[in-house]
Amino acid sequence: MAMKQSPAKRVGVTVAAWLVAFLIFFPILWTFLTSFKSELDAIAMPPKFLFFNWTLENYAEVQERSNYLKYAFNSIVLSVGANFVGLLIAVPAAWAMAFAPGKRTKDLLMWMLSTKMMPAVGVLVPIYLLFRDLGLLDSLWGIGFVLMLLNLPIIIWMLYTYFKEIPVDILEAARMDGASLLNEILYVLTPMAVPGIASTMLLAIILSWNEAFWTLNLATSNAAPLTAFIASYSAPEGFFWAKLSAASTLAIAPILVLGWFSQKQLVRGLTFGAVK
Amino acid sequence: MGSIQLKSVRKAFGGVSVINGVDLDIKNGEFAVFVGPSGCGKSTLLRLIAGLEDVTSGEVLIDGKAVTDVGPAQRGLAMVFQSYALYPHMSVRNNIAFALKMAGEKTDVIERKVAKAAATLNLTDYLDRKPRQLSGGQRQRVAIGRAIVREPKAFLFDEPLSNLDASLRVQMRVEIGELHNDLKTTMIYVTHDQVEAMTMADKIVVLDKGSVAQVGTPLELYNRPNGLFVAGFIGSPKMNFIKGPSSERRGAAILGIRPEHVAVSTTAGEWPATVRLAEHLGSDTFVHAEGDGIGPLTLRLEGEAPLKPDQRIFVTPREANIHKFDTNGRRID
Ligand SMILES: Nc1ncnc2c1ncn2[C@@H]1O[C@H](COP(=O)(O)OP(=O)(O)O)[C@@H](O)[C@H]1O
Ligand SMILES: [Mg+2]
């Protein structure tokens, strides 16, 4: 819909958009700035915005106290690995639901979504005990498995919506051309769905990156991702804002970079289906 | 080889019967056209042959062998879809080569066959383009190219021309006809357009609500339709149906006469009528008239007939071209 807008209205909307964007972005900016302050400057009243003694000592101290790279590595392995495995399961599942639906497909989809509404604490104890008995506590495999299961309904749902948009004729043409089911999915469906798959993966990776409940409860050291790294800055010594900010900046930096370079995919992914 | 037989084929979608027991025999090399109004089950019947749908009961035989349990990939048939269904992410070259790759052909064989198909279809200059960069007619050609490289047992076309404009449609119709003459491969062509059916087919299969109404050559259907449905569907403009004294006198419940099989006089004849509209095409004149007591009549007169609205005329059917139908709509001989 191309609506004619008066210039005044357009300026107004633009300003409002920037304002909202700034409000949302401000906490991140503030964290980033604080990470370069001394602890004293960090709690100074009135707050110092840009004019303070810029220092890297927080980063040095954070690195000294805890091994950032190990946590970051775990985060990357967990969020990318878990969702990649999830994707391998979700593509055939979404194919079946989109192109060969049965009577109960809609119910199945709703049921999968409903698992997302269940409070996680409800199953914490059984899962914890299972993990303990299977020796999966604090292991990348165990946590990766849980993260994969957490996102699977979302990945299947998103792929399902994308696949529904693909004309079934094209897949049937591939079948007529002698493609096996695997080839049909590999050479025809997947390449056509690349934008959808990319934005789905991006969203899923961000969700896993931010997942704190299970990672904090099931991992203590070896398999602990950046959520544990951040959490370790809250407790015993009281709050050290500047160091906490430095740790936070480090924790969100990788995902922020990933998000920055894939904005377009992300926006398309998040608004998909909303506007047609 | 590519003979196709259907034996009491039925298809129901969730309890709704769409194909009600079709028996059909299509010989190797034949150009068969399935024609019928929209929703009569033409596409479904074609998809049953292709294997894209499973029969509810009955059998499909290809070269005498039942293929009920054979998937579409293994039936050796090629299909051209109404929507073209090209692979949007592949170049024209890869679209055409896809089936050969799936069959595991060697690279040089693929290259040679693609080049040959492209040359046949005037696509050589477009091989590196993506489907979205082609016109409708070119996309149609790619879809056909994709089918011919496979050297299938039979081609299945599902309303392949309905997305093209009128002049391109006529041109493609001729091209597909020539293709059939060259390849001599069995073709099954689905259309709702009886003109396409009449001009292209060796054998026309008229479908009505999921059943075969009549099978025959174009002229058989034109000259001897077996019932009201086929009589009304084949031929343009449509056959006139007349009830009342003049049909009773000839021993029929309903009498059918094609617009081109009448004599028109301004002085005397069997059916007095009033001209409503005369369409002058130059070669012919189509006259829409209202017959006294028999309702609307369509007449087709050769050349230019000097008729005007509201003029009184007298229409006489040519006795040899009259079709007679009983109360059930079946032909009486
Ligand atoms: N997958 C399907 N599920 C349910 N009904 C279908 C399906 N495909 C076709 N039909 C129904 O079968 C009938 C015949 O359809 P189709 O074969 O496409 O007709 P045609 O090609 O002659 O226009 C229609 O009433 C259509 O609604
Ligand atoms: Mg159809």
Q: What's the pLDDT tens digit per position in B216-251?
A: 999 999 999 999 999 999 998 999 999 989 899 999
A130-144 confidence digits (pLDDT tens): 999 998 888 999 999
Do the domains B4-223 and B237-325 sit in the same CATH topology, yes or no? no
Backbone angles phi, psi at B271, to 5 degrees: -115, 105
Q: Round to the nearest angstrom and report the end-to-end CA distance of chain B.
A: 38
Q: Which two tokens stand for residue B299?
A: 């007449």
Asked if B73's CB is within 8 angstroms of A178's CB, the reply is yes
Share of chain A above pLDDT 70, in %: 92
Q: What are the sequence ranges of the domains in chain B?
A: 4-223, 237-325
What pTM was estimated for this model as a whole? 0.83
pLDDT mean over B97-118? 95
Is A173's Cβ below 8 Å from some Cβ in B?
yes
For A120, the domain range is 61-270
Look at residue B123 in the predicted model and tell me its pLDDT.
93
Superfamily name with CATH number, domain B4-223: P-loop containing nucleotide triphosphate hydrolases (3.40.50.300)
pLDDT at A271: 59
Say whether B81 and A173 touch across the interface (CB within 8 A). yes
Nearest ligand 1 atom to alpha carbon B46 = 17
pLDDT at A275: 38
- pLDDT of residue A237 exceeding 70: no
Asked if residue B38 has its Cβ within 6 Å of ligand 1, the reply is yes
Q: What is the pLDDT of residues B316-332, one digit of tens each?
A: 999 999 999 999 999 99
A150 with B49: CB under 8 angstroms? no
Please tell me the predicted confidence (pLDDT) of residue A238: 63
Q: Is residue A20 part of a domain?
A: no
Q: What 3-state DSSP class applies to B329? A: coil
Show residues of chain A in contact with B50, CB under 8 Å.
176
Please list every residue in chain B whose beta carbon sits closer than 8 Å to the beta carbon of residue A194. Answer: 89
How many whole angstroms from B242 Cα to the centroid of ligand 2?
Answer: 32
For residue A136, give the CATH number of its domain: 1.10.3720.10
Q: To the nearest whole angstrom, how far is the Cα of A102 from the nearest Cα of chain B?
A: 11
Q: What percent of chain B has pLDDT over 90?
A: 89
Residue A11 lies in a domain: no
The response to whether residue B47 sits with its C-beta less than 6 Å from ligand 1 reads no
Query: Sign of the C-alpha dihedral, residues A188, A189, A193, A198?
Result: negative
pLDDT score at A276: 32
Q: HSE-up of B151 (CA within 13 Å, CB side)?
A: 8
Count the alpha carbons within 13 Å of A148 in the hemisphere toward its beta carbon. Answer: 19
Q: State the Cα–Cα distance between residues A86 and A144, nearest whole angstrom.
A: 10
Of all protein residues, the one whose alpha carbon is nearest to atom 1 of ligand 1 is: B13
- Taking the centre of ligand 1 as the mean of its atom positions, its distance from the CA of residue B237, in whole angstroms, is 27
pLDDT at B195: 92
What is the average pLDDT score of chain B?
A: 94
Higher-confidence position of B30 and A213? B30
List the single best residue of B43, B46, B47, B52 to mutate versus A (max A Cβ within 10 A). Answer: B52
Q: Which helix (H) or strand (E) holds B320?
A: none
CB contact under 8 A, B78 and A169: no
Is A172 an 8 Å CB contact of chain B?
yes
pLDDT score of A117 more than 80? yes
pLDDT digits (tens, 9 = 90+) for B168-209: 899 889 999 999 999 999 999 999 999 999 999 999 999 999
B146 → chain A, closest CA residue: A177
Q: How many residues does chain B have?
A: 333
A121, pLDDT greater than 50? yes
Asked whether the predicted pLDDT for residue A161 surpasses 70, the reply is: yes
Chain position carrying tokens 């099931």: A218
* Nearest alpha carbon, ligand 1 atom 17: B41
Token pair 């008729």 is found at B307
Check if B42 has its Cβ closer than 6 Å to any atom of ligand 1.
Answer: yes
Q: Mutating which of A177, A183, A186 best tests the B interface, going by the most B Cβ atoms within 10 A?
A: A177
Is A46 within a domain? no
Closest CA in chain A for residue B74: A178
Range with the poorest average pLDDT among A30-44, B34-48, B107-121, B205-219: A30-44
How many angstroms away from the CA of A40 is the closest CA of chain B? Answer: 58
B210 burial class (0-12, 13-18, 19+ CB within 10 angstroms)? buried
Nearest Cβ partner of B78 from A170, A176, A191? A176
Distance CA A210, CA A251 (A): 10
Q: How far apart are CA B150 and CA B126, in angstroms?
A: 20
Q: A174 lies in a domain?
A: yes
User: Among all ligands shown, which has an atom nearest to the Cα of B38?
Assistant: 1
pLDDT, residue B66, reads 95
**Residue with token string 């109004």:** B37
Beta-carbon-side half-sphere exposure of residue A203 (alpha carbons within 13 Å): 26
Instruction: Note whether A175 contacts B81, CB cutoff 8 Å.
Output: no
Query: Tens digits of per-residue pLDDT, B55-76?
Result: 999 999 999 999 988 999 899 9
State how many domains chain A has. 1
Kind plus residue range of the DSSP H or E element containing B208: strand B203-208
The candidate with the shortest Cα–Cα distance to B234, out of B23, B30, B35, B24, is B35
pLDDT band of residue A87 (cuts 50, 70, 90) is very high
* Residue with tokens 């279809």, as numbered in its chain: B121
Give me the percent of chain A exceeding a pLDDT of 90: 42
CATH, range B237-325: 2.40.50.140
Q: Of B84, B97, B91, B96, nearest to B130 (Cα)?
A: B91
Asked if residues A250 and A59 have their Cβ atoms less than 8 Å apart, the reply is yes
- Is A185 in the B-facing interface, judged by CB distances under 8 Å? no
Q: Tell whether A6 is covered by a domain.
A: no
Locate the ligand 1 atom nearest the alpha carbon of residue B190 and give its number: 21
Separation of CA B228 and ligand 1 centre (Å): 24
Pair of tokens at residue A115: 């698992």
Q: What sign results for the dihedral spanned by CA atoms A258, A186, B91, B101?
A: positive
Place of tokens 């599902």: B158
Q: What pLDDT score does A3 carry? A: 57
Q: Is B210 in the pocket of ligand 1 (CB under 6 A)?
A: no
Provide the 8-state DSSP code for A52: S
Structure tokens at A104: 């109960």
